[in-house]
């Protein structure tokens, strides 16, 4: 069990470190503020944003695994506790990087001829912006709030979480909501990027 947690923590630290390290490549945000070479950095930044989103979904599954293990042999609490804290940090990084990318999506950069938003709105599929992006920019911010609630549940009950049916029920409901909202946000993001990359 400890080995699994160690591996999970190390992978999360490595990926987050890589992600944060890449931000140094990005100069400025919004129209006219970015250097021409940063267009490629934006692409890499967007890819890493998507990668971190995928890791978040996998992390949610890891916590679900802990919940199932806890039911089977009563041992998964540590995985749930560490996993939820990690999910909270990753979801905040993910939301912040998403907000930064949204500024590029709206304003564009010198490396790109036009902003992705303008291109989509003028295309034959303006609903990709009108419905998908309009929703994604908000529901992506809802995810850290849901995960924060999961963390508060674990913190409130502490070790008593294992025996408390009500706590486990509340946590499971919140975990399900977090999975659904994350997957929808991720799906919208993938579709938007497929339509017009940054």
Partner 1 sequence: MTEDIINEGKLLAAYIGGGVMLLAIGILNVASELSESTGKALELYKPLGAYSGKITFGLICGAIVWGILHFVLKDKKADAKLGLYFFIAALLLATLFVFTPFIGLLE
Query: Residues interacting with partner 1, by CB under 8 A?
Result: 29-31, 33, 99, 102-103, 106-107, 130-131, 134-135, 137-139, 141-142, 145-146, 148-149, 152-153, 156-160, 163-167, 170, 173-174, 177, 181
Query: Do residues 116 and 105 make contact, with C-beta atoms less than 8 angstroms apart?
Result: yes
Chain centroid offset of residue 167 CA: 25
CB 157 → partner 1: shortest distance, Å? 6
CB 11 → partner 1: shortest distance, Å? 28
**Which residue lies nearer to partner 1 by CB, 11 or 103?**
103
Contacts of 130-135 spanning 24+ positions with Cβ under 8 A: 132/188, 132/191, 132/192, 133/105, 133/188, 133/192, 135/188
**Which residue lies nearer to partner 1 by CB, 12 or 144?**
144
Distance from C-alpha of 135 to C-alpha of 186, rounded to nearest angstrom: 12
CB 13 → partner 1: shortest distance, Å? 26
CB 153 → partner 1: shortest distance, Å? 7
Contacts of 113 (CB under 8 A, 6+ apart): none
**Which residue lies nearer to partner 1 by CB, 142 or 191?**
142
């Amino acid at each position: 069990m400890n080995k699994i947690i160690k591996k999970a923590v190390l992978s999360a630290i490595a990926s987050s470190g890589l992600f944060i390290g890449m931000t140094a490549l990005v100069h400025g945000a919004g129209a006219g503020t970015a250097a021409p070479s940063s267009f490629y950095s934006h692409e890499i930044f967007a890819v890493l944003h998507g990668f971190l989103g995928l890791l978040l979904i996998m992390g949610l599954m890891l916590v679900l695994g802990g919940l199932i293990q806890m039911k089977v042999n009563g041992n998964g609490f540590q995985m749930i506790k560490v996993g939820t804290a990690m999910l909270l940090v990753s979801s905040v990084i993910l939301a912040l990087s998403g907000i930064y990318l949204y500024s590029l999506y709206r304003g564009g950069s010198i490396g790109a001829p036009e902003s992705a938003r303008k291109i989509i709105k003028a295309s034959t599929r303006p609903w990709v912006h009108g419905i998908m992006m309009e929703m994604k920019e908000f529901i992506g911010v809802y995810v850290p709030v849901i995960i924060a609630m999961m963390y508060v549940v674990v913190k409130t009950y502490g070790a008593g979480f294992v025996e408390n049916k009500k706590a486990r029920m509340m946590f499971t409901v919140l975990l399900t909501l977090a999975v659904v909202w994350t997957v929808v946000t991720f799906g919208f993001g993938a579709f938007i990027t497929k339509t017009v990359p940054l």
